[in-house]
């Protein structure tokens, strides 16, 4: 790969950290899913902070399609247990025709639960559930049954695979969002599949390590390869539309101590590998130049832990602030200032 690709990404990152104005993206979308087939990469932290940044400008709708429901816990805190029904219940009713589901019961105003969102545009969220962990077996057993229905196979399968999209659209009719964001699980099966079928574009966070690079390749292969589950089941349902890859977000980037605003060698190596892989799948991306879809996010250390535990967006933290987290005294580290600019740059692309 020509060295100029990594240089383009780093040069743009340096401009972002310097506060320079940069050209916008050629196209943006209404709905996005944050997705990758690996846990521990900062996916839910990214979703929470993207949700905040988006809601500063747009009215928004958020959905948590991950069985770990970290996104929901950060938004709703201790009040999460008060929700009698969740996205899981809406999906079951939508897939099985088991009555009529009232989405207003699960579509909650974020500001009522998370003080960090005070002052933002109206935003709403449908919480996730741990029951989504078992959802893939139900989804694919239903699709297997519908594959035997001959003339009814396509319509019945499409009804299942478009269930989350119908829920998303119905919730949007209630809340009138300009932007929609879905957090997904680190596994493709189940609600992640439905999220890919529902949204316009994907945001793929990739931690700067070898396992995450491998997960990136698997994610892109799932999106392209017609023999893998996403296309195999969608073909059964007569579905041909697939989301564009709009952003690859490199998380936990480290920085050279001797060269200001310059990634360290390890980060540079993994960013370069991510670009190489992305270029192999360039037809999946929303921009003709892969480098336009690459974003670097700081390794925010203690600030990320503070943000998650205190349910405060990183953009509302200030360096030097101190918090007691799980009995430890943590301080907001200076890298939070870099992270703020990086997040604002990423959000401007959505």
Q: Where are the domains of the chain?
A: 3-348
- Residue 273 CB neighbour total at 10 angstroms: 20
- What's the token pair of residue 7? 């240089």
CA atoms of 66 and 35, how far apart (whole Å): 10
Q: Which percentage of the chain shows pLDDT scores above 70?
A: 98
Segment (H or E) for 159:
helix 153-161
Residue 4 has pLDDT above 50, yes or no: yes
* Interval 45-79: pLDDT, tens: 899 999 999 999 999 999 999 999 999 999 999 99
* Interval 207-257: pLDDT, tens: 999 999 999 999 999 999 999 999 999 999 999 989 999 999 999 888 766
- Pick the closest to residue 31 from 163, 151, 197 (CA basis): 197
Mean pLDDT calculated for residue range 275-291: 97
- What's the token pair of residue 139? 């989804």
Q: What is the CA radius of gyration of the chain?
A: 20
DSSP 208: S
- What's the token pair of residue 13? 């990152």
Mean pLDDT calculated for residue range 269-276: 96
pLDDT recorded at residue 2 = 47
- What's the token pair of residue 128? 């996730």
Mean pLDDT calculated for residue range 298-323: 88
Segment (H or E) for 248:
strand 244-253
pLDDT band at 99 (very low <50, low <70, confident <90, very high): confident
pLDDT band at 88 (very low <50, low <70, confident <90, very high): very high
Instruction: Tell me the CATH number for domain 3-348.
Output: 3.40.50.300
DSSP 110: G
CA atoms of 298 and 173, how far apart (whole Å): 36
The DSSP line for 169-195 is HHHHHHH--SEEEEEE-SS-TTHHHHH
> Which residues, in sequence order, are bridge partners of residue 108?
125
- Residue 293 CB neighbour total at 10 angstroms: 25
Residue 1 has pLDDT above 50, yes or no: no
Higher-scoring residue by pLDDT: 112, 98:
112
Contact predicate 134/185, CB 8 Å: no
> Which residues, in sequence order, are bridge partners of residue 330?
323
Mean pLDDT calculated for residue range 82-89: 94
pLDDT recorded at residue 44 = 85
CA atoms of 50 and 81, how far apart (whole Å): 24
* Interval 155-189: pLDDT, tens: 999 999 999 999 999 999 999 999 999 999 998 88
Contact predicate 125/174, CB 8 Å: no
**φ and ψ of 181, to 5 deg:** -130, 130
Contact predicate 60/234, CB 8 Å: no
Q: Which residue has the tokens 């050629």?
A: 26
pLDDT band at 151 (very low <50, low <70, confident <90, very high): confident
Q: Which residue has the tokens 């509302």?
A: 316
Distance between first and last Cα of the chain: 28
Mean pLDDT calculated for residue range 102-130: 95
pLDDT recorded at residue 45 = 86
- What's the token pair of residue 129? 């559930």
- Residue 7 CB neighbour total at 10 angstroms: 12
Maximum mean pLDDT: which of 130-134, 278-282, 302-306: 278-282
Find all residues with CB under 8 Å of 112, minimum gap 6, and list them: none
pLDDT band at 281 (very low <50, low <70, confident <90, very high): very high
CA atoms of 58 and 124, how far apart (whole Å): 12
pTM of the model: 0.95
Q: Tell me what the pLDDT averaged over the chain comes to.
A: 92
């Amino acid at each position: 790969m020509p060295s100029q690709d990594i240089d383009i990404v780093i040069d743009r990152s340096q401009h972002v950290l310097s506060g320079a104005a940069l050209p916008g993206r050629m196209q943006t979308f209404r709905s996005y899913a944050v997705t990758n087939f690996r846990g521990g990469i900062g996916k839910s932290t990214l979703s929470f902070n993207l949700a905040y940044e988006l809601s500063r400008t747009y009215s928004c709708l958020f959905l948590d399609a991950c069985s770990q429901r970290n996104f929901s816990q950060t938004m709703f805190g201790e009040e999460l247990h008060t929700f009698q029904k969740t996205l899981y219940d809406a999906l079951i009713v939508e897939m099985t025709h088991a009555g009529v589901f009232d989405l207003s019961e699960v579509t909650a105003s974020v500001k009522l639960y998370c003080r960090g969102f005070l002052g933002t545009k109206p935003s709403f969220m449908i919480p996730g559930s741990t029951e989504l962990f078992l959802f893939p077996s139900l989804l694919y057993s239903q699709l297997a049954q519908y594959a035997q229905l001959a003339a009814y196979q396509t319509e019945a399968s499409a009804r299942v695979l478009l269930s989350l999209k119908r829920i998303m659209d119905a919730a949007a009719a209630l809340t009138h969002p300009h932007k929609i964001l879905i957090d997904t699980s680190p596994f493709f099966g189940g609600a992640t599949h439905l999220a890919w079928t529902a949204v316009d574009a994907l945001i793929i966070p990739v931690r700067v390590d070898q396992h995450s690079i491998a997960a990136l390749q698997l994610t892109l292969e799932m999106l392209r390869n017609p023999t893998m589950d996403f296309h195999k089941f969608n073909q059964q349902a007569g579905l041909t539309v697939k989301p564009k890859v709009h952003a690859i977000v490199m998380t936990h980037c480290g920085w050279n101590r001797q060269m200001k605003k310059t990634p360290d060698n390890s980060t540079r190596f993994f960013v370069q590998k991510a670009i190489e892989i992305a270029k192999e799948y360039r037809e999946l991306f929303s921009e003709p130049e892969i480098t336009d879809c690459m974003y670097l996010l700081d390794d925010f250390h203690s600030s990320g832990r503070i943000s998650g535990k205190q349910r405060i967006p990183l953009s509302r933290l200030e360096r030097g602030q101190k918090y007691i987290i799980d009995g430890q005294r943590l301080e907001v580290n200076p890298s939070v200032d870099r992270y703020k600019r990086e997040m604002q740059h990423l959000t401007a692309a959505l």
